[in-house]
Amino acid sequence: AYLRAGQSVPRRDRGTALLCPFDPLIFFRPRVERWFDFHYRIEIYTPADKRQHGYYVYPFLLGTDFVARVDLKADRANGALIVKAAWCEPGHDHDASEVARHLAAELRELGHWTRCPRVVVLPKGDLADDLSSAVEAGDEATVWSAP
């Protein structure tokens, strides 16, 4: 949205990002829905029985697509980053195992800087099985290349 005059726009984005609910990219919900066709609502104020994805959900950006969301909790006392639920987003061209590999890499990095080196994936959400396998395999991708 903001680019200094004279700078070139990259042909494609190859990055990944796990975004906290208050990240500037998704903080203004109507903008993220307009730009990415991604509906996001933080559910910390929603009663537990009415939550769709979880209490404190991080969207996962792969390239230019929001491809997943994970409900995370840092258990620093036990050194674990807990994935309480993992969900795939519909409408993108990435398969679940690819998304899980890249997401596992992001979770390991997040776990490292939050002093939670173990990533524990609980069996909730349509991406949980693939993500659990990717975390256990430890062979997740570190660099993503767009097709």
pLDDT value, residue 9: 62
pLDDT value, residue 10: 57
**Which residues, in sequence order, are bridge partners of residue 87?**
69
Q: Which regions of the chain does DSSP assign to beta strands (E)?
A: 16-18, 57-62, 65-75, 80-88, 118-121
> For the chain, which residues score pLDDT lower than 70?
1-4, 7-14, 139-147
Consecutive H or E run containing 96: helix 96-113
pLDDT value, residue 34: 86
CA distance 114 to 108: 10
pLDDT value, residue 40: 84
pLDDT value, residue 31: 83
pTM: 0.81
Instruction: Please report, in angstroms and rounded to a whole number, the separation of the first and last CA atoms in the chain.
Output: 24
pLDDT tens for 82-103 read: 999 999 998 877 888 999 999 9
pLDDT value, residue 1: 52
